[in-house]
Amino acid sequence: MTRILVVDDDNDNLDLFTIVLEHAGFKVNSYSDPVKALEEFWPNNYDLLILDYLMASFNGLELYENETDR
């Protein structure tokens, strides 16, 4: 099963992505807090990352860089 990580601090966007992707048959892990997503991130566990670029703690690119450094 394809696994997708979605991180967005806008709960409406997060809910929309999660509902649509799960309905399409994907396994989705979603987080509104990028720090929590990073704490619970498992390297090589996801086939796709969907990351919001503008978040309060740090942006999606910084989150991606931290995740891939593990």
Q: Quick: pLDDT tens for 40-70.
A: 887 778 999 898 887 777 776 777 777 666 5
CATH number assigned to the domain with residue range 3-56, chosen from the 4 options 3.40.50.2300, 3.20.20.140, 3.90.1300.10, 3.20.20.70: 3.40.50.2300
Please state the pTM of the whole predicted model.
Answer: 0.81
Cα separation, 32 vs 3, in Å, equals 17
Cα separation, 51 vs 13, in Å, equals 11
Cα-Cα-Cα-Cα dihedral of 48, 53, 57, 58, to 10°? 80
If you average pLDDT over residues 23-48, what whole number do you get? 89
pLDDT at 3 over 80: yes
